[in-house]
Amino acid sequence: MRHIIIGNGVAGTTAAEQIRRSDPDAFIRIITAEPFPFYSRIRLPAFLAGETDEKGLIIRSPEWYETNRIELSLSTPVTAVDPAARVITTSSNEKIPYDRLLVSTGAHCFVPPLPGADMEGVFSLRTLEDAISIRNYIAKSKKQVAVIGGGVLGIEAGFGLMRAGCHITVIEVLSRLLPKQMDPEGAALLQLHLASMGFVFHIGIAPAAIIGAERAEAVVLADNRRIECGAVIISAGIRMNLSLPKELGMTIDQGLVVNDRMETGVEDIYAAGDLIQHDGHCYGIWPAAEQQGEIAGINMAGGSAEYRGTTMSNTLTVAGVDIFSAGDIDAEGKRESVVVSDREKFIYRKLVMDQNVISGAILLGDIKDRRKIMKAIDEKTDISSIKSRLGRWDLSTL
């Protein structure tokens, strides 16, 4: 059985591992447009900070692929797939046959139509190649960096560059930082803490343009304020890499639609990772991509497994601050909740409740209760008899 995997991120690599575990004799080949083996995107800010090098980011060494008899083709974009002939074509016009195919092409950074966004000195951060370009440029430019986007990736990129000696200004069009993980009160406390570290923030205002004579020199805000800088990092979310699925006529909604077996609807073609949509959900988080890759690998190897979704949760360290966020964080304050905060210690805790179960949580600065809370969310634990304890943040009986 010939298994071809397009994309060597966590979904594709996990699928390859699972196929090899299930079928010792299968032929497995991973094909990726990137020039590096599987590496940690999560640690790219550490690379920006100069705390690790390219080798330190690699999760699967060339020896691992050799040991597991997995062929790896780097710097090899796939340009076409012919499902009838069961052949893929690469940019070098190589024709590669397959019996089963996994599409795990992930996503790319969204760059909004902002005047000056294509100027020299303007970057996004998604790949190791991006990080190398940023680090090389910062080494020879002014140390003022403007980050457009106050989500996790923007803050982490800024913190990495801050550790490299840069001064960081964050511009966020929405009303708070980390809008997917934080409610207004938690975000305000996080912003206060980050400001004490040296971050400068402009919240609730849009950038109007990036300007400069030959390269980026400033970001102009919607109210005409000018933020001087030597480089700009745009962190405005991601967009799924859907060109191949579209060419194949696959079902596209928000993402590439798959069933519980990670099947795309085209015979023997599976998909997993950041480009997919399952049961109406697009996850874009590492744990979901890993689980999806495992399910796809089992089924490609002839097994029978079903994906039941992933509870949206993040355990993060953002600029040195531990954060846990899961489920419905109730940013609008419409649900019953328990909130305990300590502004002096920059600690914020929140449990969101819905019909006597915990439906979501935020932990900022102290995340030791995250596993207990996550278990309660996943198992829909009945909390009706312990609500008064939870109100005092006594989780001993949870």
Residue 37 has pLDDT above 90, yes or no: yes
Is there a contact between 12 and 25 (Cβ–Cβ < 8 Å)?
A: no
The pLDDT of 75-86, averaged and rounded, is: 97
Q: What is the pTM of this model?
A: 0.90
Say which residue the tokens 């059985």 belong to. 1
Is there a contact between 373 and 395 (Cβ–Cβ < 8 Å)?
A: yes
The CA distance from 190 to 173, in Å, is 17
Q: What confidence tens digit (pLDDT) does each residue in 191-201 have?
A: 999 999 999 99
Q: What confidence tens digit (pLDDT) does each residue in 330-388 have?
A: 999 999 999 999 999 999 999 999 989 999 999 999 999 999 999 999 999 999 999 99
The pLDDT of 322-331, averaged and rounded, is: 93
Percent residues over pLDDT 90 in the chain: 92
> Tell me, what's the pLDDT at 316?
79
Residue 301 has pLDDT above 80, yes or no: yes
CA dihedral 86, 89, 95, 96 (to 10 degrees): -50
> Tell me, what's the pLDDT at 129?
97
Residue 274 has pLDDT above 90, yes or no: yes
Residue 311 has pLDDT above 80, yes or no: no
Residue 318 has pLDDT above 90, yes or no: no
The CA distance from 251 to 249, in Å, is 7
> Tell me, what's the pLDDT at 76?
97
Residue 79 has pLDDT above 80, yes or no: yes
Q: What confidence tens digit (pLDDT) does each residue in 118-136 have?
A: 999 999 999 999 999 999 9
Pairing of strands 313-318, 321-327: antiparallel
The CA distance from 23 to 18, in Å, is 8
The CA distance from 158 to 99, in Å, is 44
The pLDDT of 94-107, averaged and rounded, is: 98
> Tell me, what's the pLDDT at 80?
96
Is there a contact between 44 and 160 (Cβ–Cβ < 8 Å)?
A: yes
Angle between helices 152-163 and 128-138 (to 10 degrees): 40
Percent residues over pLDDT 70 in the chain: 100
Residue 69's CB is within 10 A of a number of other CB atoms, namely 12
The pLDDT of 211-240, averaged and rounded, is: 96
Residue 227 has pLDDT above 80, yes or no: yes
Pairing of strands 27-31, 2-6: parallel
Residue 319 has pLDDT above 90, yes or no: no
Average pLDDT, the chain: 95
More confident residue, 314 or 41: 41
> Tell me, what's the pLDDT at 310?
85
Tallying the residues shown for the chain, one arrives at 398
Query: What's the CA angle centered on 202, arms 201 and 208, to 5 degrees?
Result: 140
Residue 315 has pLDDT above 90, yes or no: no
256: nearest Cα among 227, 281, 236: 281
Residue 325 has pLDDT above 80, yes or no: yes
For the chain, domains (ranges, CATH) are 2-108+239-300 (3.50.50.60), 122-234 (3.50.50.60), 313-391 (3.30.390.30)
Pairing of strands 207-211, 218-221: antiparallel
> Tell me, what's the pLDDT at 312?
73
The CA distance from 102 to 86, in Å, is 12
Residue 183 has pLDDT above 80, yes or no: yes
